[in-house]
Structures are given as C-alpha cells and as structure tokens.
Structure 1
Amino acid sequence: MAVVGAGIGGLSTAIALRAEGIDAVVYEQASELRALGAGVSIATNGSRILDGLGLGERLRDVAGRFSQYAFRTWKGQPIAGEPSELSFGDPEHTLFLHRGDFQRVLSEALPADALRLGHEVAAVTEHGDGVAVEFADGTVAEADLVIGADGIHSRLQGLVSAPAEPVSEGVMAYRALIPAERVEHIIDMNTCSMWLGPQRSFLVYPVSAGSLLNVVAFAPSNLDVAESWTAPGDVDELAASYAGWDQRVLDIIAAMDTTFRWGIYDREPLARWSTDRIALLGDSAHAVTPHLGQGANQAIEDAATLVVVLRDCAASDVPERLRVYEDLRRDRTRLVRESAREAGRTYRSTGLSGLEQAERIGAIVARIDINTHDAENVAEQAIAAAGPGSATARR
C-alpha cells in the first residue's frame, strides 16, 4: 500500500499496517523531515493506540513531564481548583510532544525503505484492482490502495470528493518554544497551564523531556494568515496583545526570543472519504481546530480504524471495507470538530464567568470521550456485527 504524506497520520498508518503484515510505504514530497517548532498533544484516545503499536516507551522518553492541569482566568484566578478538576486527558496517559521529536520516533519505527522522501505526487490513477502513483521525477509506484494523509491542503482530496477549502476561525496563534531554564521560576514545568480571557487564550505545556516550554497564544485576526508553522511573528506585538493579563503570561512572553504565527483553520468532514482504491485520512478528510488538542489524535484514530477494517482483506473487498471505514469515522470526527470549535469560543468568551467556563469545558471534554474512546474496539465491534456472511466481516 502507498501512504502519501509523512505527517503524524501517515506515519502512524504505515506503522499500524506493517504491524498487521501489510506492506506499506510512505511517500513524502519534502526531501527531509524537519523538526518544526510546534507542540502536539496526544491524549488517552491516541496514546492507547500508540502503546499498542509498541511506541509508548520511546514517546514517553521524549514527552514533556507533567502531572496536572491549571485553568485560570486572564487575571490568574483558578476557574476549577488548582490543580484543576478539568483536563484535556488523564495526565498518566497524555503525552505532550515536540512535533519534530514525535515525527522522528515514528519514522524510526519504519524500515528505511518504507519511507521515501523527495517524492512529490504528480498523478494518481485507479485501474482495475490497483492504483498507479506517478511522481514529479517521472517514477511510478503501483499499489493495491493509496491512502491520502497529505494534510489540510490535500492534493488527493480532489480525487475522492469535491474539494473543500479550509475555513478560518478568525483567530491566529502565536507559537514559541522557550528553554525551560528561562521560565521555571515563572511557572511549574510539571503543569499544563491555560489562561482564558476576552477574545484570547494562552496555553503552555512542557515538551522535549521537559527541556522546552511550548507556548500557544490564540488571538483574533482579520488577516489572511496561511496555515503554517513557519510564518514569523512579532514578540512585541504579541506582548501588546496581552497587556493587562496575569503577570505570569507577560513574563513568559518576555522570555521569548522569537515567535511564529499559525492561522487557525478547520473543515467540515467530507461527505465522501474514499473511492474504490483511494482513502483519505486525518486533515485531508476532516481538519479540526486545535482547542482540544485532538487533531493528531483523530488522525491516529483514523489509522487504527482503517487497519482494523482492512485485516485479512481480499482485493475484491477493498471498496466495501473503505465504505465501512468512512462510515465509522464520519460522525466521530464531526463531533470532535464541532466540540473543538465550541471549546475555542468558550475559552475566548466575553460573557461567561469562570465557573460557567469550567462547566462548559468539562461537558465538552466529556462529550468526546477523550479518556475512554477506543477506535480499534469500535471498528472491531462493527466488523463483528456485520456477521460472518458479510464481506466486511470475513477475517
């Protein structure tokens, strides 16, 4: 099988497929996997799957060390006790990772010949029981199935569904990574801390085995900011945007050397995720805003679901199995997308008290079952329920 895109979703899919004995190769247009400066939150619904793939120990070695959450008003008062009764997932099973560290661990879990860098897809053509993938250098790869994990600006999306443009939330994020020694006198590095305020929020958590503090500051924007992890920002502009906030927020900003901007976009899950031989996964099918830290988790859930429905799959069964995959995932990802949007509005509310914010956040997190949702089990139950006479149930 051919997986297009070496992001979190694409690499996780290839690892999971190969664990089932399915030969999967990842094709990535970039000539190298760069350690982009962004944090990634993996909650229980994602870490359960990664643990099952044998990656847990290596990921915990590079994850930020933390044991509790703190949710505060913009002036610094706790909204649900401290340590907080709220969370983005059980700390024991939640991983805060530098995206570069995460991508490196995943790529190293694949055989060298299963990750092909510098392969930009030029065309994908379905024929009979297979797919031909043509690359910009003129080479061609043949596969039984192509999985499009090529992100929010997916090129493969148009082969499966009418292209759907990303939708701006009217918000951008300033992001930064700060060496721990600069901020450990300001903030407890064992805590994921979030401040909620009018039209803005401010989130920090440790990554890279606690050596760095990841900072994400969400602010309103009427700019057409491209979805990017590399667009330069202005630290002074950021500081001015948070004037009057809790002194800890201002001190964290003062510890930054640089920041970069990230446009916040999402997309309603597509009505169709697959053809007979091409399937979409992750942001290419259902991009979400980052307010619940669920973007990477949903891609990992996609990967786990897809692998379960493809187990022991005959070539003739692939189209039907792909329908099962998208049917299982569409409602789940729509719920997460809507919940993430609601969470963002709640964080940046101008009319809710801290107690009201805490109640709403707790309800939103509970709604998407971060600590209990098991995508593999859901898929296994669906296959079993189809009955032994169904092609989707043959194992």
Structure 2
Amino acid sequence: MGKARIAVIGAGLGGTVAAALLQRNGFDVRLYEQAKVFSRLGAGIHLGPNVMKVMRRLGCEETVDAMGSHPDFWFSRDGKTADTIAQIPLGDYALKTYGARYVTVHRGDFHALMASAVQPGTIDFGKCLKRLENNGSEVRLIFTDGTIETADIVVGADGVNSKVREHLLGAEPPRYTGYVAHRAVFPASLLGDNPYDMCAKWWSEDRHMMAYYVTKERDEYYYVTGVPQAEWPEGVSMMESSRDEMREAFTDFHPDVQSLIDVTPSVTKWPLFERDPLPLWGRGRIVLLGDACHPMKPHMAQGAAMAIEDAAMLTRCLIEMGSADYTGAFALYEANRAERASKVQLVSHNNTWLRSNEDPAWVFAYDVFDVPLASFSRQIAEA
C-alpha cells in the first residue's frame, strides 16, 4: 500500500490546521471546501496558550504573535456597575506559567494564515459534499457539482451541520440553545478617548458581552454577545441586527457598553447550536473533528481551540499508529479527546468560565503534543 490519501472535508480552522499538520508529517492530503472563496468575516478569536503551542509546531507562532493583540488580563466586569469581578492574568504571566502567550486576533486574518500554511493547490473550493460511499477499500466522495473523488481516510471538519457526521450517525439537526450571538468589528478610532479594556467580558444574570482588540496595532475592536432569544428561524444561518436591538438587549448595562453600541456601524446576529456528546467520533475510514463532532456555545472562547486541538491529536495518533491502522488511530484519538472536549462543551454551556478568579491552567497549560496518551480498547476500534 502506498501513502494513504487523506481527504479533509471543510477548510475552516480545524480542517486547515489538520491538513497543515498532516502534510508536515508526510501525509498526502486534499482539502475540500464548499465556499468559492474565503472572505474576512467580521469576527474575532481568542488563541490561548493551548492553541499557541500548536502554532509553534506549525512554525506560525511568531507570525500570530505579530498580528494579534496581547491582553495583559482577562477582565470580568459587572454589566451594570463595571466593577471588576474577576481579573485573570495573561501577558507575560501566561507565557511563564502556561508555556505560550494569549493572543486575540481577527478571525479572518488568522484563517488566512492557516490556509497559507497548507501546501499550494491543497484546497479545492466550491466542493459541497453530497454523500459518502465507503466500499471498504476506499471512500468515494460525491459532491453536489457532480464530481467524485476517492480517499483512504476521510476527516469530517465540516461544521455543525456536518454531512460526514450525518453519514456516520444519521440526519439529526443540532439543538438551538435559545441564545444568539451579536457580532460587530469596527475601527477602534470610533471609541474616542474612552479607555476600553484590551479584553473584557461584561456579565449580567442572563446575558453578556465579550469585547477585545483584534490587531497588534489595536486599531480594530470587536464584541460578541450571548443573549437569550426564544426562537430562531430554521435554515437561517445569520441575519442583520441593529443598534436599536442591541440597546434593547443591553438596556441596563453600564454606559461604557452603551457607548460601544452607539459607535457600532453594523452588527450581525447568529444562532448558537449544540449537540450532546456523540456516541462515536469515527467508524471505519471516517472520523470527525471540531464542530462536526462537538459544537458548543462560544462562551469559553475555546470552540476553535478544541477543533485545533482535535486536529493536532488526530495527527499525533495517525503518526503513533500509522495510517494503515486507521481504526486504531481513530480509537486512540477519541480516547484522548472525548473527555476534554465534553468538559469544555459543558462549561461553555453553563457560561461560568472566568466569571470568578479561578485557575484556568486545565485549559491553558494543556499541550496536545506532550500530554501522555491514554490507552484505548482494540475491540472498540474494530467495532
């Protein structure tokens, strides 16, 4: 048998990191993305020390450091009074204590960097997966444009509405959480002379706003919310919101939050979905990672981090077991990811992360490449 052909479905953050890491370790990878092009979507992202250690393995750590903002603290503030209810040290403390920096960055800039980390020509755009056919010796990938590709291993990194997950476990829509996230990114010059925190989460009993800079120059500011909304129209991925809607949602919040809303040029609104932990992460030649496997509320700012950790652990397990023993590799991967991802899912659901002065080391100090590998059952792997 020659070199295993690995098809990664979905070129989001988890998919691109998986492809880049697998290629750096000698695997033959194709990456299939349903979008026709990538765009710089208006969103920010937190890259904790646990993610930055993966960037180190990719040779991208210094580049990410250079493009992002480096908050000295994560502040949790009372939404009404602005009182500090938690102050979590980051900055140089994170580097010394957790082994890497904490960076906030524009999601589009980070995604572009990850896409550039794969070999040229790896990504096939405009490829929307219709179905998979596993004939035992290989997997056929049938796309909606009529094209058919084949692979020895398929990695489903195709998000919350994953076609790969559907193939493994049947059609079942994700569960709407009853919460939406408003997103807005805008020039920091609109903030005027008001000294906003580099990274702060504003809390009330049932809603919050997370706000931070997304560039090293601190010339762009971003916020994302978690706000209860009883229903969301089926099939709608996002919609435009407004300053009036934001003012209504945060009517009792501190004047600093009101000022943020007042200078917002435009704001979008997105539904938040979850799934219960899956009964399996892979079967045969097919395996899942990221939101395809464990979609979660973004309330820990660790959703993308879990996908990136998945990608790194999957690579580690394929190296450990060899791609010929893909069933063993996938079982080892699940044995070393399911508990951690499920715990992050639960804490994200409960929205308690860093609301008090807790120790975040169980998340930030984790190094996916150095953590001892848990064992797995060969019977499970071959079931």
TM-score normalised by length of structure 2? 0.89
Question: 1:236 & 1:133 partners in 2: Cα distance?
Answer: 46
The equivalences for 1:234-383 within 5 A come to 234-311=242-319, 313-343=321-351, 357-358=355-356, 362=358, 365=360, 369-378=362-371, 381-382=373-374
- Percentage of matched positions with identical amino acids: 27
Shift of residue 315 of structure 1?
Answer: 5.0
Shift of residue 266 of structure 1?
Answer: 1.5
| Structure 1 runs not aligned, ≥5 long | 348-356
Shift of residue 133 of structure 1?
Answer: 1.4
Question: 1:45 & 1:374 partners in 2: Cα distance?
Answer: 6
Question: 1:248 & 1:226 partners in 2: Cα distance?
Answer: 34
Match of 1:90 in 2: 94
Shift of residue 155 of structure 1?
Answer: 1.0
Match of 1:107 in 2: 115
The equivalences for 1:47-196 within 5 A come to 47-80=52-85, 84-85=87-88, 90=94, 93-183=101-191, 185-188=193-196, 191-196=198-203
SS at match of 1:377: coil
Match of 2:215 in 1: 208
Post-superposition CA distance 1:255-290 (Å, at most 9, x none) = 101110011222122111111101111000101111
1:312–1:246 CA distance, 2 compared to 1 (3 A)? closer
Q: Using the TM superposition, name which of 191-200 and 226-235 deviates more.
A: 226-235
How large is the Cα RMSD of the aligned pairs? 2.6
| Structure 2 runs not aligned, ≥5 long | 1-5
Question: 2:83 & 2:293 partners in 1: Cα distance?
Answer: 37
1:143–1:42 CA distance, 2 compared to 1 (3 A)? same
Question: 1:311 & 1:198 partners in 2: Cα distance?
Answer: 46
Shift of residue 304 of structure 1?
Answer: 0.8
SS at match of 2:304: helix
1:154–1:45 CA distance, 2 compared to 1 (3 A)? same
Question: 1:127 & 1:47 partners in 2: Cα distance?
Answer: 39
Post-superposition CA distance 1:171-230 (Å, at most 9, x none) = 1121101211111522335x2011111322111011133221111122211121569774
Post-superposition CA distance 1:327-355 (Å, at most 9, x none) = 221111111111111225x89xxxxxxxx
How many pairs does the alignment contain? Answer: 369
TM-score normalised by length of structure 1? 0.86
Match of 2:10 in 1: 5
SS at match of 2:130: strand
Question: 1:226 & 1:259 partners in 2: Cα distance?
Answer: 21
Contact 1:160-1:274 within 8 A present in 2 as well: yes
Relative to its length, the structure with more helix (as a share) is 1
1:222–1:304 CA distance, 2 compared to 1 (3 A)? same
SS at match of 1:258: coil
Contact 2:336-2:373 within 8 A present in 1 as well: no
Q: What amino acid is the match of 2:23?
A: R
Q: What amino acid is the match of 1:277?
A: R
Shift of residue 254 of structure 1?
Answer: 0.4
Question: 1:311 & 1:296 partners in 2: Cα distance?
Answer: 23
Match of 1:25 in 2: 30
1:272–1:42 CA distance, 2 compared to 1 (3 A)? same
Shift of residue 108 of structure 1?
Answer: 1.1
Shift of residue 157 of structure 1?
Answer: 0.6
Question: 1:103 & 1:93 partners in 2: Cα distance?
Answer: 19
Contact 1:30-1:118 within 8 A present in 2 as well: yes
Shift of residue 164 of structure 1?
Answer: 4.1
Question: 1:319 & 1:51 partners in 2: Cα distance?
Answer: 28
